[in-house]
Amino acid sequence: MQTSNTALFFLEDDCIRAFGQETGCTLLQQAEELYQDLCQHGNDRGNHVIEEHLQSRLFPLMSYYKALLKHGIQEDQALLLVRETAHKAAIDKKAEMQKLGSLPFAYLIFRMGVKRHMKNHFPPEGWQTEWVRCNCQEIHFNLHRCLYWDVTKQFGCPELCCVFCESDDISFSGLAPKINFLRNGTLGSGSDCCDLHFIKAQ
């Protein structure tokens, strides 16, 4: 798989826009090579859902970030560039959330499907989920282990995890105003867990 076939299909345009044709294409080539190497050495834990997370979300962004650092871009600037790219994908996801958020009984629909969704798309091979509350007013669960945190640490770029967390914030904001998303901390920012709250609007 190439990055052009992932959720970051616009990476080529971003590279060229930020660095010009020649340098942008060089960076893209480096990112592609790094991506293939990450895919080769990544551990999908025998789970096709984990494989999809790695190949479609984690490794494309990580390879871009590592290519920027390899090219001599300072870490803070590299994170800024990667953040801009990641946010584009998150805005697309936000639009999907807005469709759900606009439905009658949006909270009820969300609550009825959330546990099944977590089980199917965030399996225990990559996440340790603690369900705290799932009632008619609030859905609250904590993630004590997260694939994104584990993998960014494994490949030497834990600072990148917060970019993925920010993408979640953008995506889930699309549920408002019927469902309000709140979070007090994340593993990537140093908290003991990622706490996710989906609160029914009054």
Contact status, residue 183 vs residue 175, Cβ threshold 8 Å: no
- Can you tell me the mean pLDDT for 161-190? 96
For each of the domains in the chain, give its residue range(s) and CATH number, in order of start.
3-200 (3.90.1520)
Question: Looking at residue 24, what is its pLDDT?
Answer: 86
Distance, CA of 85 to CA of 18 (rounded, Å): 11
Specify the pLDDT at position 89: 87
136-146 tens-digit pLDDT: 999 999 999 99
pLDDT at 3: 52
Which of 28-32, 123-127, 167-171, 194-198 is predicted least confidently? 28-32
pLDDT given for residue 11 in this prediction: 81
Question: 63-120, pLDDT tens digit by residue?
Answer: 999 999 999 999 999 999 999 999 988 999 999 999 999 999 999 999 999 999 999 9
State the average pLDDT for the chain. 93
Long-range contacts of 45-48 (CB under 8 A, 24+ apart): 45/125, 45/126, 46/125, 47/123, 47/125, 47/126
CA distances from 179 to 57, 90, 168 (A): 25, 18, 14
